[in-house]
Amino acid sequence: MDVVSLDNQISCVRRELSLRRRVYPRLIQNKQMTQAWADFQMDCMEGVLKTLEQLHHTQEQTELFEDAGKAPYATEHESS
């Protein structure tokens, strides 16, 4: 299996949450799902999204600091 980028994973989870927001009310109304189960499932998926967004932010910060270490200013002063 190919590695899926965090950006793509986040987009996928956002689409899934949007879909569930549209579908779950109908399932609850038709008694195919309880409100409690829908709430739990939404909380879980929102937790997944939050985790992925935090990982993405951490990844961006790490790349920022790595890039800062490669800046010409840092390179010039390290060689002295």
| Calpha distance 46→58 (Å, rounded) | 18
Q: What's the pLDDT score for residue 79?
A: 55
Residue ranges per domain, the chain?
6-78
Convert the pLDDT of each residue in 17-63 to its tens digit.
Answer: 999 999 999 999 999 999 999 999 999 999 999 999 999 999 888 88
Q: What's the pLDDT score for residue 75?
A: 53
